[in-house]
Amino acid sequence: MKRKNGKISNAVIRRLPRYRRYLRELQKQGVEKISSNDFSELIGYTASQIRQDLNNFGDFGQQGYGYSVDGLYEEVSKILGLDHDYKMVLVGAGNLGQAISKYAMSIIDQGFQLCAAFDIKPELAGKKVEGITIYPYEELESYVSENQIDIGIICVNKGNAQEVADKLYSAGARGIWNFALVDLVVPEQVALESVHLADTLHSLAYHMNDIRRKSSGAEGKKK
Amino acid sequence: MKRKNGKISNAVIRRLPRYRRYLRELQKQGVEKISSNDFSELIGYTASQIRQDLNNFGDFGQQGYGYSVDGLYEEVSKILGLDHDYKMVLVGAGNLGQAISKYAMSIIDQGFQLCAAFDIKPELAGKKVEGITIYPYEELESYVSENQIDIGIICVNKGNAQEVADKLYSAGARGIWNFALVDLVVPEQVALESVHLADTLHSLAYHMNDIRRKSSGAEGKKK
DNA sequence: TAGATTGTTAATCGATTAACAATC
DNA sequence: TAGATTGTTAATCGATTAACAATC
């Protein structure tokens, strides 16, 4: 992977997993090569954008031919860091936490292993969610550092999320997958990805109402 | 709410739930008014952007004074369509579906009510997830139309997601909250919000590796 | 070689930020 | 009224798209 210099914009990064998904589909269908034009039609980005995006990371194509599906899939996987495994812990085994842990458990085959869960409620200690033991919150830091955990999944309520993030960092975790509805502040050595589920639902609500307004107000055309 | 003409960009919409969250916090703290400058410091958008964003929807502020926290909270809620309730069904009660349903159940107080779940597996019919009955998949359309369901939550595997979306639409649902890892195509009368959890995790992996590369390659400075 | 298609530079578009007149 | 702060226009910045020379 011949990485070029300069910072890659986040817009590009967010498209990479999607490129990878479509490449995987093509691979399954036995397609060997694809041109940026054909790929454009499939994935819905312009051919120009596809070439620009990929060229941030190297010259993966071949003029007059296109891109090798297998090769590009491997490259994109490598760029994303999916060529090695990640150990994760879940913090907060309440409603949302149990929900997410269920999902997290199901992607071990994709290189993400959920190793343990933690909760501040003493009565949960020793119990299991989806086969994963819940430990007392006090043991979080020692567990993370001793077991070289890479990623902490934060599912505590928003008032405690920042403290959990701080603990995860000081114990050595370098990735935080945050589901608490709060905007965390983390040192630049930590990668943070927040999934604000409620925000996405609210955004959905907006669009539903926007569509309704448009269709009902089709006659009234306000200035 | 004095809506101005012209299309609002999606970037703006995605910021609205965040404005609302911070306004709620301010409200709780008993803050009565806030200027775009102070709000900027709190929320991390520029004051200019805040004023631009809000002015897409109306003149909510008062020159020389600022914005009323209560008033603006109400306005943003209304813009998002959170001044009325939504009835939802879950489709796909497998791993991810049960995970999401747990979460969906917990936000009824916020105007989102999960009414029923559906699954194609006959052995799940009649069972309950989190207090919600699972019905046979065949009954999806009749249930949605009879109960005037607004939103369908899609948690089936990607091969079936498009069919589910089509059924939800034809039965009258006008919002789709999609968790299947596929890009759905829906008529423009339907609002679609996809949460590709795996994509966010992959994006997190990228950033973790990016940080690692930078710190380890700090000496090697490639051209 | 001729045709196809990339890699890359230039042009365009849209979103963010800055500036300031309007006004409370 | 004077000071503060919005609403809005203009300037800047960044991301997307178009164009085309390089090259397989």
Closest Cβ–Cβ partner in A17, A96, A205 for B203: A17
The mean per-residue pLDDT over the stretch A89-115 comes to 90
Question: Comparing A23-32, A206-215, B61-70, B163-172, which segment has the lowest mean pLDDT?
Answer: A206-215
Query: What pLDDT sits at residue B115?
Result: 97
Mean pLDDT value across residues A192-202: 97
Parts of chain B with a pLDDT under 70:
1-5, 217-223
Cα distance from A98 to chain B (closest Cα, Å)?
A: 7
Do A10-80 and A86-199 fold alike per CATH? no
Banded model confidence at residue A205, pLDDT cuts 50, 70, 90: very high
Of A112, A196, A203, the CB nearest to B13: A203
- The closest nt to A37, taking CA to C1', is C5
Is A188 within 8 Å of B202 when comparing Cβ atoms? no
Query: Which residues does chain A have within 8 Å of residue B215's beta carbon, measured at their own beta carbons?
Result: 189
pLDDT at B1: 45
Q: Please give the pLDDT value at position B144.
A: 98
* CATH code of domain A10-80: 1.10.10.10
CB-CB neighbors (< 8 A) of B155 in chain A: none
Does the CB of B188 fall within 7 Å of any strand C atom?
no
- Average pLDDT for chain A: 93
- The per-residue pLDDT for B25 is 97
B136 strand D contact, CB < 7 Å:
no
Tell whether the model's pLDDT for residue A219 goes beyond 60. no
| pLDDT tens for each residue of B34-50 | 999 999 999 999 999 99
Give the number of beta-carbon pairs within 8 Å between A and B.
178
Residue B96: CB less than 7 A from any atom in strand D: no
Q: Give chain D positions with protein CB within 7 A.
A: 2-9, 14-19, 22-24
Pairing of strands B86-91, B191-194: unpaired
* Residue at shortest CA–C1' distance from D2: B64
Q: Please name the member of B14, B95, B205 whose beta carbon is closest to the beta carbon of A103.
A: B95
Q: What is the nearest nucleotide to A11, using C1' and CA? A: D15
- Tell me the pLDDT band of A216, cut-offs 50, 70 and 90: confident
Q: Are B114 and B90 in contact (CB under 8 A)?
A: yes
Segments making up each domain of chain A, as ranges: 10-80, 86-199
Please tell me whether any atom of strand D lies within 7 Å of the Cβ of A29. no
| Predicted pLDDT of residue B218 | 54
Nucleotide nearest to A62 (CA to C1'): C6
Mean pLDDT of A178-193: 97
Task: Enumerate residues 6+ apart whose C-beta is below 8 A from B218.
Answer: none
Q: Which of A9-23, A100-114, B135-149 is the least confident region?
A: A100-114
Q: What is the pLDDT of residues A115-171, one digit of tens each?
A: 999 999 999 999 998 789 999 999 999 999 999 999 999 999 999 999 999 999 999
Question: DSSP string of A41-105?
Answer: HHHSS-HHHHHHHHHTT---EETTTEEEHHHHHHHHHHHHTTTS-EEEEEE--SHHHHHHHHHHH
Task: Give the fold, CATH level 3, of B10-79.
Answer: Arc Repressor Mutant, subunit A (1.10.10)
Name the residues in B30-89 having a C-beta closer than 7 Å to nucleic acid strand C.
45-46, 48-49, 51-52, 62-65
What is the model's pLDDT at position A223?
Answer: 31
Q: Which of B14, B174, B205 sits opposite A208 (nearest CB)?
A: B174
Cβ <8 Å between B198 and A150: no
Classify the phi-psi angles of A44: left when phi > 0, otherwise alpha if psi is within -120 to 50, otherwise beta: left
Q: Which residues of B touch A204 (CB under 8 A)?
A: 151, 175-177, 191-193
Domain covering A86-199 in this structure, CATH number: 3.40.50.720
Following DSSP, what letter does each residue of chain B receive, concatenated?
Answer: --PPSSPPPHHHHHHHHHHHHHHHHHHHTT--EE-HHHHHHHHSS-HHHHHHHHHTT----BTTTBEEHHHHHHHHHHHHTTTS-EEEEEE--SHHHHHHHHHHHTTGGGTEEEEEEEES-GGGTT-EETTEEEEEGGGHHHHHHHTT--EEEE-S-HHHHHHHHHHHHHTT--EEEE-SSS-----TTSEEEE--HHHHHHHHHHHHHHHHHHHHTTTT---
A35 burial (CB, 10 Å; 0-12 / 13-18 / 19+) is: middle
